[in-house]
Amino acid sequence: MRYLSTRGAPSNAPHAAAPGFSEILLGGLAPDGGLYLPEYYPQVTTSELERWRELSYADLAFAVLAKFIDDIPPDDLKTLLARTYTPQVYGNGRSDSPASEITPLRWLERPNAASGEGGLALLELSNGPTLAFKDMAMQLLGNLFEYVLAQRREEINILGATSGDTGSSAEYAMRGKAGVRVFMLSPHERMSAFQRAQMYSLHDDNIHNIAVRGMFDDAQDIVKAVANDHAFKARYKIGAVNSINWARVAAQVVYYFKGYFAATSETAGGNAQRVAFAVPSGNFGNICAGHIARMMGLPIGRLVLATNENDVLDEFFATGVYRPRSSAQTHATSSPSMDISKASNFERFVFDLVGRDPAVIRKLWAEVDAGRSFDLSGTPSFARLPEFGFVSGHSTHADRLATIRRAFETWGVMIDTHTADGLKVGSELRSSEMPMVVLETALPAKFEETIVEALGRRPERPPALQGIEDLPQRVEVIDVSVEAVKAIIERELH
CA distance 243 to 185: 14
Tell me whether residue 461 is in a domain: no
Tell me whether residue 144 is in a domain: no
Q: Considering just the CA atoms, what is the radius of gyration of the chain in Å?
A: 21
Tell me whether residue 349 is in a domain: yes
Q: Which helix (H) or strand (E) holds 426?
A: helix 417-428
Catalytic entry in 67, 134, 177, 424: 134
pLDDT at 11 over 50: no
Task: Tell me the per-residue pLDDT of 319-358, one tens digit each, with 9 for 90 and over.
Answer: 999 999 988 899 989 998 898 888 989 999 999 999 999 9
| Residue 134 annotated as catalytic | yes
Nearest CA-CA partner of 194 in 476, 461, 483, 474: 461
Nearest CA-CA partner of 146 in 169, 174, 170: 174
pTM metric for this prediction: 0.91
pLDDT at 12 over 70: no
CA dihedral defined by 229, 231, 236, 240, rounded to 10 degrees? 40
Q: What's the pLDDT band for 135 if we cut at 50, 70, 90? A: very high
pLDDT of residue 5: 96
**Ramachandran region of residue 406, left (φ > 0), alpha (ψ -120 to 50) or beta?**
alpha
Tell me whether residue 142 is in a domain: no
Task: Tell me the per-residue pLDDT of 219-248, one tens digit each, with 9 for 90 and over.
Answer: 989 998 998 898 999 999 998 777 789 999
- Look at the chain and report how many structural domains it folds into: 1
Task: Tell me the per-residue pLDDT of 185-194, one tens digit each, with 9 for 90 and over.
Answer: 999 988 888 8
For residue 216, how far is the Cα from the chain centroid?
Answer: 15
Q: Are 418 and 407 in contact, with CB atoms under 8 Å apart?
A: no
pLDDT at 16 over 90: no
Tell me whether residue 220 is in a domain: no
pLDDT of residue 164: 74
Tell me whether residue 240 is in a domain: no
Bridge partner residues of 120 (DSSP): 109, 436
pLDDT of residue 401: 98
3-state secondary structure of 226: helix
pLDDT of residue 278: 98
Q: What's the pLDDT band for 99 if we cut at 50, 70, 90? A: low
pLDDT at 301 over 90: yes
pLDDT at 14 over 70: no
Range of the structural domain that residue 282 is part of: 102-131+247-455
Q: In this predicted model, which residue has the larger pLDDT, 14 or 326?
A: 326
Task: Tell me the per-residue pLDDT of 414-453, one tens digit each, with 9 for 90 and over.
Answer: 999 999 999 999 999 998 889 999 999 999 998 999 999 9
Section 266-284 average pLDDT: 81
Bridge partner residues of 278 (DSSP): 304, 438
Q: Which residues contact 47 (CB under 8 A, 6 or more apart)?
A: none
pLDDT of residue 85: 96
Q: What's the pLDDT band for 196 if we cut at 50, 70, 90? A: very high
Say how many residues make up the chain. Answer: 494
Phi, psi (deg, nearest 5) at residue 121: -145, 160
**Ramachandran region of residue 198, left (φ > 0), alpha (ψ -120 to 50) or beta?**
alpha
User: Which one-letter DSSP state was computed for residue 15?
Assistant: P
The mean pLDDT of the chain is 91
Name all contacts of 171-174 with Cβ < 8 Å and 24+ positions apart. Answer: 171/199, 171/202, 171/204, 171/207, 171/209, 172/129, 172/130, 172/135, 172/138, 172/198, 172/202, 173/129, 173/135, 173/138, 173/139, 173/141, 173/142, 173/241, 174/142, 174/145, 174/206, 174/207, 174/241
Domain CATH number, residue 297: 3.40.50.1100
pLDDT of residue 494: 80
Q: Which helix (H) or strand (E) holds 232?
A: helix 230-235
Tell me whether residue 348 is in a domain: yes
- CA-to-CA dists, residue 409 to 122, 123, 218, 398, 452, angstroms: 16, 19, 39, 16, 14
CA distance 147 to 168: 21
Tell me whether residue 217 is in a domain: no
